[in-house]
């Protein structure tokens, strides 16, 4: 046994894998990194350290019999054999390229625990900008490149409760520390907590080398609803409501809208453009109402729904205000209907992409939480925001606009969006459909990776990146800011005493208010002769809010003259005569 070695190679070996008899079980475990000195040829220049990873480990004993097992006692464990299966990752040559061995390893070669330098070099953990955690089971920091993460997009995938929002916030903190502008689409009010300094033990902060920090000066929360619904928001978010085009409005129309509806809208807007320099949605509704087609009512219904949301304004929120260096704008969708959310995302992301192409805003990151709602896979649903998110995923890199996709249902996220993400942070996933979607849509995912994803504990993520040679497990660091995505403790809420109702509600019951009847003024009555067929003007008691100038419509006149009975004693031609003829004949 070589000093410092943790095992030795035995049995049949190859260039990609071999078996190891383990001596020190405390340093060899499933997922551990080991190194072995490899004599690649007779030339000493080719001799190098090669990095490997333990993929499986087994322990057994030849002397422990069934009889002893039935007794349940075993005093001596010294003859246990521990066998590990190691897969070779490779080594770096003089040019920095990763090379795999071409000559099998020699049985009897000692195995050592891998050091930090070799592990970093071979795995490609050469970034030194974004500290997201530590390599699982080690004290090696995992640091990523800001440029690679932003330009090549990023996805964070996990089942509910596995910590995807927590992990996303860790990445956002690192981007804010490097003054990267961000626009965050937040459906569940989770990211406003970035303003507040985090809480935790000093040991946890010291272990990851970070300190508590709040980003209150860098975060601004916007609400498309109102301050009454979302009082924690800093500003209202509004879209441009002036001179809307057909394209602006048809992007939010339901799927059952036909070309007829679009034609009605087009004609109305064309008339407004000729007659008015500026027009609003109210003008469009009025002009559509002048159309003679019955299909106009469907168009008016949709336009009125948009108008009633108050999302349109003559003073819209500008994209230059939202996207600034060192700042993060959070669009908090609390209290906003899903259909309206999709419309806002489509309009906002289109403006963001166009502004970036024209270099009106700096390069930065678009963060899409619950991405399966805004870019769903075909067959699940259809939203107006899917196309623009696909465009940003495929073309955003050219213009320095990155995208972070966050979802708890990878199978329901559009594959064209997901496959463009060069960095994937995947936490625990157990749904078979989601596992298949990850395997098909992401690079570097093998059957081993799928098995690991089903067993990951909370707070541990698998990192897959073009910059890293193989998927690695990362213990995500503690947040600097406060976590805002905790689940509600139902039991605690049930045990908490309910506060007493206000005094007014407890002691005083308001009496129902009976509306005072409003009488229509009775016009002066002149002394006139009243004939038999004249209509009397009788005062009517109206309910509040009723139109007092309402005039009843004239009595409808019959479309044909009434039947006149014969006066000469003969029966008239009609139903009665026919009835009598039929029944008299049978007398």
pLDDT at 253: 64
What confidence category does residue 488 fall into, taking pLDDT thresholds of 50, 70 and 90? Answer: low
- 267-290, pLDDT tens digit by residue? 999 999 999 989 999 999 999 999
Q: How far apart are CA 573 and CA 564, in angstroms?
A: 9
pLDDT at 378: 82
Percent of the chain with pLDDT over 70: 79
User: Which of 29-43, 56-70, 512-526 has the lowest average pLDDT?
Assistant: 512-526
Q: How far apart are CA 171 and CA 186, in angstroms?
A: 15
pLDDT at 558: 46
Q: How far apart are CA 536 and CA 587, in angstroms?
A: 52
Q: Is the pLDDT of residue 35 over 90?
A: yes
pLDDT at 466: 82
User: Which of 30-39, 87-96, 557-566 has the lowest average pLDDT?
Assistant: 557-566
Q: How far apart are CA 443 and CA 471, in angstroms?
A: 10
pLDDT at 544: 45
Q: How many residues does the chain have?
A: 587
DSSP symbol at 513: P
pLDDT at 41: 56
- 395-446, pLDDT tens digit by residue? 999 999 999 999 999 889 998 999 899 999 999 988 888 888 887 766 656 6
**Is 147-237+317-486 assigned to CATH 3.40.50.970?**
no
What confidence category does residue 130 fall into, taking pLDDT thresholds of 50, 70 and 90? Answer: very high
What confidence category does residue 324 fall into, taking pLDDT thresholds of 50, 70 and 90? Answer: very high
Place of tokens 């039929």: 582
Q: Is the pLDDT of residue 115 over 80?
A: yes
If you average pLDDT over every residue of the chain, what do you get? Answer: 82
- 57-109, pLDDT tens digit by residue? 998 887 777 777 777 777 677 778 899 999 999 998 888 888 888 889 999 99
Query: Which of 309-318, 357-366, 450-459, 538-547 is predicted most confidently?
Result: 357-366
The Cβ of residue 493 has, within 10 Å, a number of other Cβ atoms equal to 9
Burial class of 24 by CB neighbour count within 10 A (0 to 12, 13 to 18, 19+): middle
Q: How far apart are CA 462 and CA 478, in angstroms?
A: 16
Best CA proximity match to 5, nearest among 23, 31, 29, 26: 23
pLDDT at 379: 72
pLDDT at 550: 46
What confidence category does residue 500 fall into, taking pLDDT thresholds of 50, 70 and 90? Answer: low
What confidence category does residue 510 fall into, taking pLDDT thresholds of 50, 70 and 90? Answer: very low
Q: How far apart are CA 56 and CA 84, in angstroms?
A: 6
pLDDT at 453: 86
Q: Is the pLDDT of residue 369 over 60?
A: yes
Q: Is the pLDDT of residue 567 over 60?
A: no
pLDDT at 258: 77
> What do you get for the CA distance between the two ends of the chain, in Å?
130
- 374-387, pLDDT tens digit by residue? 999 887 777 888 99
What confidence category does residue 469 fall into, taking pLDDT thresholds of 50, 70 and 90? Answer: confident
pLDDT at 85: 94
Higher pLDDT, residue 322 or 558? 322
**189, 211 Cβ separation under 8 angstroms:** no
What confidence category does residue 199 fall into, taking pLDDT thresholds of 50, 70 and 90? Answer: confident
Q: Which residues are registered as beta bridge partners of 84?
A: 20, 57
Please state the rounded mean pLDDT for residues 477-501: 74
pLDDT at 270: 92
Residue 492, Ramachandran bin (φ over 0: left; ψ between -120 and 50: alpha; else beta): alpha
Place of tokens 């395997």: 439
Higher pLDDT, residue 485 or 182? 182
pLDDT at 156: 94
Higher pLDDT, residue 557 or 9? 9
Place of tokens 């559009």: 414
Please state the rounded mean pLDDT for residues 168-192: 95
């Amino acid at each position: 046994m070589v000093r410092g070695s943790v095992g030795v190679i035995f049995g049949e070996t190859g260039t990609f894998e071999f078996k190891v008899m383990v001596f020190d079980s405390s340093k060899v475990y499933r997922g551990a990194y080991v190194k072995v000195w490899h004599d690649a040829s007779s030339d000493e220049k080719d001799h190098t350290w090669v990095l490997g990873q333990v993929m499986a480990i087994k322990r057994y004993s030849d002397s422990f019999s069934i009889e002893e097992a039935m007794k349940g006692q075993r005093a001596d464990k010294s003859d246990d054999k521990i066998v590990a299966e190691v897969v070779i990752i490779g080594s770096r040559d003089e040019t920095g390229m990763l090379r795999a061995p071409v000559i099998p390893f020699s049985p009897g070669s000692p195995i050592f625990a891998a050091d930090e330098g070799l592990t970093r070099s071979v795995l490609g953990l050469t970034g030194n900008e974004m500290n997201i955690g530590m390599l699982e089971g080690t004290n090696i920091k995992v640091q990523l490149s800001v440029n690679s993460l932003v330009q090549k997009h990023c996805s964070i995938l996990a089942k509910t409760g596995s910590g995807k929002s927590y992990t996303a916030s860790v990445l956002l903190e690192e981007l804010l520390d490097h003054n990267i502008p961000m626009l965050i689409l937040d459906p569940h009010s989770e990211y406003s907590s970035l303003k507040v300094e985090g809480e935790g033990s000093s040991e946890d902060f010291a272990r990851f080398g970070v300190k508590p920090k709040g980003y209150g000066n860098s975060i601004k929360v916007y609400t498309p609803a109102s301050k009454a619904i979302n009082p924690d928001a800093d500003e209202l978010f509004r879209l441009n409501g002036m001179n809307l085009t057909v394209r602006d409005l048809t992007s939010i129309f339901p799927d059952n809208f036909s070309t007829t509806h679009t034609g009605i809208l087009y004609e109305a807007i064309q008339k407004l453009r000729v007659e008015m320099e500026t027009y609003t949605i109210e003008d469009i509704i009025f002009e559509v109402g002048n159309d003679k087609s019955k299909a106009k009512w469907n168009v008016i219904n949709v336009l009125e729904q948009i108008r009633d949301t108050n999302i349109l304004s003559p003073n819209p929120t500008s994209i230059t205000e939202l996207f600034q260096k060192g700042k993060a704008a959070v669009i908090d969708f609390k209290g906003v209907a899903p259909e309206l959310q999709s419309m806002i995302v489509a309009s906002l992301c289109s403006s963001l992409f166009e502004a970036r192409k024209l270099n009106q805003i700096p390069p930065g990151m678009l963060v899409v939480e619950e991405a399966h709602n805004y870019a769903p896979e075909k067959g699940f649903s259809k939203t107006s925001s899917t196309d623009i998110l696909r465009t940003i995923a495929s073309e955003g890199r050219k213009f320095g606009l990155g995208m972070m996709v966050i979802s708890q249902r990878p199978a329901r996220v559009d594959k064209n969006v997901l496959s463009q993400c060069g960095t994937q942070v995947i936490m625990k996933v157990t749904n078979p459909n989601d596992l298949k979607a990850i395997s098909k849509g992401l690079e570097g995912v093998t059957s081993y990776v799928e098995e690991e994803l089903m067993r990951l504990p909370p707070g541990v993520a698998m990192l897959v990146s073009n910059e890293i040679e193989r998927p690695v497990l990362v213990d995500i660091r503690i947040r600097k800011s406060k976590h805002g995505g905790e689940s509600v403790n139902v039991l605690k809420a049930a045990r908490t005493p309910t506060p007493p109702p206000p005094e007014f509600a407890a002691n005083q019951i308001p009496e129902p208010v009976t509306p005072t009847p409003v009488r229509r003024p009775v016009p002066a009555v002149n002394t006139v002769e009243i004939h038999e067929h004249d209509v009397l003007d009788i005062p009517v008691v109206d309910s509040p809010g009723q139109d007092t100038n309402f005039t009843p419509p004239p009595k409808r006149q019959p479309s044909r003259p009434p039947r006149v009975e014969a006066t000469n004693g003969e029966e008239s031609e009609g139903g009665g005569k026919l009835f009598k003829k039929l029944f008299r004949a049978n007398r």
